[in-house]
Amino acid sequence: MRKLFLLSFILFLTIGVSDAQIFHKKSSRNTEKELFGKSAGKGKNVKIKEPGAVVKAKKKQEAKEKKHKKDYAKAVKESQKRAYDIQTPEVQARMKQNQKDSSIRDKAKKKNVKKNTKKARGKYR
């Protein structure tokens, strides 16, 4: 009887010790939260408002760039028109035909590229 009692006592003692070693996920998470707080990735996205002068300067710069692009496009168009106007009628006709031919080639090339990409797109679905 003593041996049986001693064996059961040792068995209960080892179960109690091994139970103390079980890793509890919740408790470890809570201790980590207490130590380190929330993770940096989950915080609020704080918007930094720029000073009014900076916003105004950016808008002014964008307006200048837009005007510059518009003026450049206008100058290019005028230059092309002048180059066309100073040519003889035969050359003007040839220039018109060249423009038509190039636009047709461009359309055909775009169509071909679109067709090929459509085929390739099906390959990777």
* Token pair in block for residue 36: 């380190």
pLDDT the model gives residue 9: 77
Check pLDDT > 80 for residue 84. yes
Helix residue spans in 24-123 (DSSP H): 25-36, 52-85, 89-123
3-state secondary structure of 89: helix
- Contact call for residues 87 and 95 (beta carbons, < 8 A): yes
pLDDT at 119 over 50: yes
Portion of the chain with pLDDT greater than 70, in percent: 70
Q: What is the Cα 99 distance to its own chain's centre?
A: 38
- Residues contacting 87, CB < 8 A, separation 6+: 95
Summarize pLDDT for 19-78 with one digit per residue, the tens: 444 555 555 556 666 666 665 556 677 788 899 999 999 999 999 999 999 999 999 999
Indicate the pLDDT class of residue 5, thresholds 50, 70 and 90.
confident
Listed residue (113, 83, 115, 86) closest to 99, CA to CA = 83
Instruction: Tell me the average pLDDT of the chain.
Output: 82
